[in-house]
Homo-oligomer: A and B are copies of this chain.
C-alpha cells in the first residue's frame, strides 16, 4: 500500500502559557518550523480567541500545519499533514516543541490516502506544484 500523505498528530502538554496566549509568537514559531522542515509556505491564517487561545493554520505546498492552543491548560494540539519526500515533518515538530516550551508531549503518525499500487510509487501534487 502506498500513501499520498502522512500526518503527525501532536499533543503538547505543559507548555509555556504566555507563549500559548501570544498569537504573534505562535505564528512566528509555526512559520519558522515550516521553513526548518523544508515546507513551502503558501499562506497562513491565525486568530486569537477571547479571553485567550490561538488557532492558526499554515497552508503549505505539501498540505498544512495547524495549531490550537489552550493556555488555561498549558496545552496545544498540532497537526502536521504533509506529502512528498522533500519535507522533514519531524524537524518541524522539534522546532515547535522547543518554541512552545513544552515539557512533555505525545505523538501519533498516520498514513493518509492509501492506495494499492503494488510497487508503483504515488506521485504527489507538491512535486508538480514546485
Contacts and interface: CB of A to CB of B under 8 A. Distances in A.
Contact of A70 (B51, B57, B113): B113
Nearest to A115: B73
Q: How many chain copies?
A: 2
Contacts of A50: 128-129
Interface string A34-47: 00000000111101
Given A42-B47, A51-B128, A129-B49, A73 B11 contact: no
Interface of A: 4-5, 7, 9, 11, 42-45, 47, 49-53, 55-57, 59, 61, 63-64, 66, 68, 70, 72-73, 75, 77, 79, 81, 83, 110, 112-115, 122-123, 125-126, 128-129
A66 B55 contact: no
Contacts of A57: 45, 57, 59, 64, 66
A64 B55 contact: yes
Contacts of A56: 59
Contacts of A66: 57, 64, 66, 79, 81
B75 A4 contact: yes
A52 B114 CA distance: 19
